[in-house]
Amino acid sequence: MSGLLRREWQVALRAKGAVINPVAFLLLSTTLFVIAAPDTVSSDAAAGILWTLVLLTQLLALDAMYRRDFDSGVLEQTLVGSQVPFVAVLTRIFMQWLSTGFIMTLAGPALGILLGLPVETAPAIALAMLLGTPALSLLGSIGASVTVGFSRGGVILALLVLPLFLPTLIFGAALVAAAEAGSSVMPQVYALSLISLIALALAPFATLAGLKISLEMQ
């Protein structure tokens, strides 16, 4: 696993655009939304807007999750040569979260404040992102594995994963809204944690099956 992590880290350092582009999209889309509609962003809608932008950013990053290794043949060698292919898939998902979800967790509070959320909600935004973004990477990897063999799989990927993202969107926005209202956030915390745990239990196996199907269809 340490060898796989080192390899994934080196790949992430070489392909900096795969990390910078989604983050830049999130920052620019948030800024443009605030500039274009400064009077229509209310604190009630800001949490939903923020999470919607996070989902779109994650969707942008998912298309390249396995495509580079698929095109070069490295993916097939990794799955065939690895003693435990499950570990290789889980390592890739972790690095994808680290390069997108973790960065969005760090930037989320500032973006929420930019959208009009109170400063007091910053810890709740970070907590919601920390609990919710792993589910986005895990569930998104399923769609990325199925569409990696398509030349233009972006639209199909969106159709596959957006319905899976909806529970995370609902409970993530609800957590921030509850914190803003001064209510308990524990129900939303439990819900997001449960979604991420279920995704962790199921998504790597489904992703591995999807990658094998894509390789067989090549």
* pLDDT at 187 (0 to 100): 94
- Count of domains for the chain: 1
Q: In terms of residue numbers, what domain contains 11?
A: 2-216
What's the CA gap between 195 and 186, in Å, rounded? 14
- Over the range 110-119, which residues count as b (16 or more CB within 10 Å of their CB) and which as e? ebbebbbbee
Return the axis-axis angle of helices 74-81 and 186-216, rounded to nearest 10°.
100
* pLDDT at 42 (0 to 100): 62
Higher pLDDT, 82 or 53: 53
19 burial type by CB count under 10 A (0-12 exposed, 13-18 middle, 19+ buried): middle
Mean pLDDT, all residues of the chain = 83
pTM over 0.85: yes
Percent of the chain, pLDDT > 70?
83
What's the CA gap between 136 and 93, in Å, rounded? 10
Reported as a single tens digit per residue, the pLDDT across 61-71 is 887 778 777 77
Residue 168: pLDDT above 90? yes
What's the CA gap between 128 and 126, in Å, rounded? 5
